[in-house]
Amino acid sequence: MGITSTIFGCSGLSLTQEEREFYQEVQPWGFILFGRNVDTPEQVAKLVAELKSCVSHDDVPILIDQEGGRVRRLRPPLWQSYPAGEVFGQHYNEDKDRGLRFAWLQSRLMAADLIKLGINVDCLPVLDVPVRGSHDVIGDRAYGDEPVIVSDIGLSASQGLLSGGVLPVIKHIPGHGRAGVDSHKDLPVVTASIADLEKSDFEPFRRLNNMPLAMTAHVVYTAIDAENPATTSSKVINDIIRGYIGFDGLLMCDDLSMHALQGSFEERTTASFNAGCDVVLHCNGDLTEMRPIAASSPKLSGDSLRRARQATDLFANIEACDEDSLRREFGDLCDTHTYGQDPTEAGH
């Protein structure tokens, strides 16, 4: 039957019969959960099991955005509250080792939360380097405004997830930090020179280019391709992401339903694959949008299949830990900070 190069969301707390039949027919590579899919731990675990039962392949990626701060799908009081990325940068600036440990601890504990539910991919770390005047869609999600700090903390966060058997997704490659608008609503256009982009925006991704998964930025970089955002630009993907950055993991697009992209869903899908994406992502659970995406998506094969297998092979690498001890250590680091914020469905 073959695996379709797609990651899809679903509409609610359990699958409808129509959704179940669609997934069984299409065989998507993976699924993604949002706040609309989350009620209790028992319900989430049951939904994840439902999703996995719809496809015939093993090691099905189940994604979620669990960054901490304002981007969190699993929320208190049923799940622990975690700080936004900027908190680790604040600690790093005072004590580098403490900041890196804090980031690792949070990711390791989030991995423990996720694995209990059957979720095995977290759309983290955010490797974007914001600049003064950029839109706050990244904002406090960023670890800092220096590429070395972002790289160091991003690596610790990734290692924390991996040690818990959860795959990180580095985002938004090759960099969303200069965006002046929110790509959920509009298309950002970045006019920085190649030299400036290489020095800052691209650097965290280059340093973490051995990670298994990455998510594109719906951002136009005029110095590279003035017509197309990274997601649909073969120049950005081939010359920058695969070339200069050297990323050879599985590349997924950011959500195809975001308003930064233009055209029909067939056109968005085809353009993403033609540019070099391995997998397309669609998040809102709308079957009327998913059907044309599925019809326009190829089966996983060639380098894309190799990259997908290379990623899912890492699921088995769960390192034992004393979770209670780690939570106490994490709590001590959190004590002096207030970071709880209202959650949002935004976040990619």
Catalytically active residues, by annotation: 184, 254
DSSP, residue by residue, 250-292: EEEPSPTTSTTS-S-HHHHHHHHHHHT-SBEEE-S--HHHHHH
Task: Quote the CA–CA distance of 148 and 50 in Å, as a whole number.
Answer: 41
Who contacts 302 (Cβ-Cβ below 8 Å, separation ≥6)? none
| Amino acid identity at 205 | F
Q: How many Cβ atoms sit within 10 Å of the Cβ of residue 105?
A: 23
Looking up tokens 């990711």, which residue turns up?
107
Q: Residue 326 burial (CB < 10 Å; 0-12/13-18/19+)?
A: middle
Task: Quote the CA–CA distance of 231 and 251 in Å, as a whole number.
Answer: 10
**Long-range pairs for 336-340 at CB < 8 Å and ≥24 separation?**
337/83, 337/87, 339/68, 339/69, 339/81, 339/82, 339/83, 339/84, 339/87, 340/76, 340/81
Residue 84: helix, strand or coil by DSSP?
coil
Task: Quote the CA–CA distance of 21 and 108 in Å, as a whole number.
Answer: 35
Residue 67: helix, strand or coil by DSSP?
strand
Residue pair 230/221 in contact (Cβ under 8 Å)? The answer is yes
